[in-house]
Amino acid sequence: MQRIDFFELDRPIQERFVASAQGTAPPIPLAFRRSFLPRPVLGWSAVAVTFALGAVALASAGYGDVRSSFALQPSSVIAGYVLLGAFGLYATLRAIAAGLEAQAIPFPAAVYLFPSGVIDTRGKQLVVRPIGEIRHVNVGNRSVSVRFSDGVGFTFPVPNRARAEEIERAVGEYRTRLAGESGPVSVRDLAALDPLKDNGFSNPFSPPEPMRRPRPRFRLLAPAVAIVGGIAFGYGFFLARNALAEDALYRAARAENTLAGYREYVARGGNRSEITDILLPRAELAEAAAKKSLPALQAFASGRESSPIWPEIEAALRASLLAELQAAEREGTRSALRAFQERYGTHPLVADALERAIQAHRARVLAQFAKEAKPHAEVLEFFRRLLAYTDQHGPRVEIRFRRVLGSSVERTEKQLKKSRLFAGEASLPAQYFDAEDSEPREKRVIDALLTRLSRVFPEDVLKLEPAPALPESEADAKVTVPTLLVTHQTEMKGVYMSQKPRAAYTGISVIFEVSFRIPNDPQPYELRTSVWQVPSTRAVRNGTSFAEIYAEIADDAFTKLTDRTLGALAPGLR
């Protein structure tokens, strides 16, 4: 095998080979097989395709996959596309250059079977294999194949089997002749069989210098063009790929139609408002609603008032709030409604429904009160206003007393002291109507009221609590919470004398004024009653102490106060 650079040959040999390859001058090829593309074109094209496939593979990574971090590729990938584009473009330019060079070569790129051997013109150099190295010829119906001693073989197309057999015989004859088996081979004979041998003839009209290898000028610019083109390709391909990928990512997220899918879409860089503003929030809303947790739904709704799906959020929030309200209503207590009111009562979505629930509960409590306590109309109306107030401000109701010793007390005690039957300081009655003696009686009144009213008013509706007594001077004190104020004024009149035992007594009058007041309500419920009583003659004769006699009068007065107050407020509960 021999390699020969065609463009290093002398001009006559070049022209002779071209004429032989074209079949216009001897020696004419016995057979030839043209190449579809020259090897450099095929090689550079394969390299270009490889880089193109690399760009496609890189672009395919994560394409349309909402779970892939490469679904929308980061800008750092541009460098990869630039490199692939630059190398691919360079290989493409080299393939084009190789094709142009091949077109400029004066003979076709092919494998020729000459009488002297096989000449392969598909590469940059001519590869010559002498016919003497052929070891085998294979004849086919439309082809003939030759194989050389180094194992390399070539197949040539022929029109029919007869031509293949003819070529087989010719190869044998030429191999024998050039081997010198039929006699010495002259230079002239060798030139007649080998197109690369000089036959001594030169065209006087041809230039003397050899043909030169064609080199397209743009081949020199290929590196610069590849760099600039690679940058443009890389950036443009990156933008186009991500634009198409975003659309594929969007379609994948829509097809999956799950919260996870929409979140992955946004996490991958998707920014379509249809998903970010509508579908993703809607899926998150569905998740929050599925938890059946009002706090979770409120947390989701917070700050989303301008969301396009705010009406849906409001509807879900209202449904959840109403469900919570209904649960509170089913408990049937004001505490449950108050707890809901404290947590969610300011929410406009359920303000009306909450007010209706409170009113319904109040109506039930009032109906129960009317049924069991059988109050008079004005009392029922007062309690209606009272419950309306406590529904707004809480169930606390204070019970307070105001103690008054009337002007007659001092006058009467002076009369007792002047009596000849005056029994000393222990017989003066005022000391038995002071705060220390009044507090236990007042407590019994409070306990009786609490016991009776609690039967119809649960503690979360009305919570009656004792409060410190008011000073005598604060008769018209303004209340800040509903207050049941009981003023008891003690008066004394007359002097009753006993010879045995020796003593002077007085009659006791306790005047009670009950005023049930609601803050800022001009119509308190008021009750006035009084008890007049003189010491029991039997008790005096039996030597009962002054403390016991006056305590019995006071106790009786407060007992009657309790009965009359309950009789006025709740006659059915006595």
State pLDDT tens for residues 427-464: 999 999 999 999 999 999 999 999 999 999 999 999 99
Question: pLDDT, tens digit, for every residue of 64-85?
Answer: 888 888 888 888 899 998 999 9
Beta-bridge mates of residue 3: 127
Report CA torsion sign: 298, 303, 306, 307: negative
Question: pLDDT, tens digit, for every residue of 460-482?
Answer: 999 999 999 999 888 777 899 99
Question: pLDDT, tens digit, for every residue of 296-305?
Answer: 888 888 888 8
Q: How confident is the model at residue 409 (pLDDT cuts 50, 70, 90)?
A: very high
Question: pLDDT, tens digit, for every residue of 47-69?
Answer: 999 999 999 999 898 888 888 88
pLDDT surpassing 70 at residue 218 = no
pLDDT of the residue at 223: 86
Q: CB neighbours of 325 closer than 8 A, spacing ≥ 6?
A: 340, 344, 350, 353, 354, 357
By the 10 Å C-beta count (0-12 exposed, 13-18 middle, 19+ buried), 384 is classed as: middle
Q: How confident is the model at residue 398 (pLDDT cuts 50, 70, 90)?
A: very high
Q: How confident is the model at residue 7 (pLDDT cuts 50, 70, 90)?
A: confident
Residue the block writes with tokens 């584009």: 85
Question: What's the token pair of residue 6?
Answer: 């065609």
Question: pLDDT, tens digit, for every residue of 105-114?
Answer: 788 889 999 9
Cα 265 from Cα 275, distance rounded (Å): 8
Q: Determine contact, residues 167/30, Cβ cutoff 8 Å.
A: yes
pLDDT of the residue at 454: 92
pLDDT of the residue at 188: 80
> E strand or H helix at 353, and its extent?
helix 351-373
Residue 434 neighbours by CB distance under 10 Å:
12
Q: What does each C-alpha distance from 19 to 38, 106, 212, 409, 480 come to in angstroms?
A: 20, 9, 17, 159, 126
Angle 72-270-289 from CA coordinates, rounded to 5°: 135
Q: Determine contact, residues 411/494, Cβ cutoff 8 Å.
A: no
159: DSSP letter: S
**pTM of the entire predicted model:** 0.60
Q: How confident is the model at residue 509 (pLDDT cuts 50, 70, 90)?
A: very high
> Domains along the chain?
2-193 (2.30.29.30), 273-366 (no CATH), 394-573 (3.30.160)
pLDDT surpassing 80 at residue 315 = yes
Cα 492 from Cα 509, distance rounded (Å): 6
Instruction: Work out the widest C-alpha separation in the chain, in whole angstroms.
Output: 193
Beta-bridge mates of residue 222: none
Three-state SS string across 531-571, please? EEECCCHHHHHCCCCHHHHHHHHHHHHHHHHHHHHHHHHCH
Q: Determine contact, residues 170/114, Cβ cutoff 8 Å.
A: no
Nearest to 395 by CA among 453, 470, 355, 356: 453
Q: What does each C-alpha distance from 46 to 92, 448, 548 come to in angstroms?
A: 9, 107, 127
pLDDT of the residue at 541: 81
The average confidence (pLDDT) of the chain is: 89
Backbone angles phi, psi at 149, to 5 degrees: -65, -25
Q: What percent of the chain has pLDDT above 70? A: 98
Cα 217 from Cα 201, distance rounded (Å): 34
Asked if the bond preceding 501 is cis, omega within 30° of 0, the reply is yes
Q: How confident is the model at residue 182 (pLDDT cuts 50, 70, 90)?
A: low
Q: How confident is the model at residue 367 (pLDDT cuts 50, 70, 90)?
A: very high
pLDDT surpassing 90 at residue 518 = yes
Question: pLDDT, tens digit, for every residue of 224-251?
Answer: 888 888 899 889 988 998 888 888 888 8
Q: CB neighbours of 66 closer than 8 A, spacing ≥ 6?
A: 249, 252, 253, 256, 261, 264, 265, 268
Q: How confident is the model at residue 519 (pLDDT cuts 50, 70, 90)?
A: very high
Beta-bridge mates of residue 156: 144
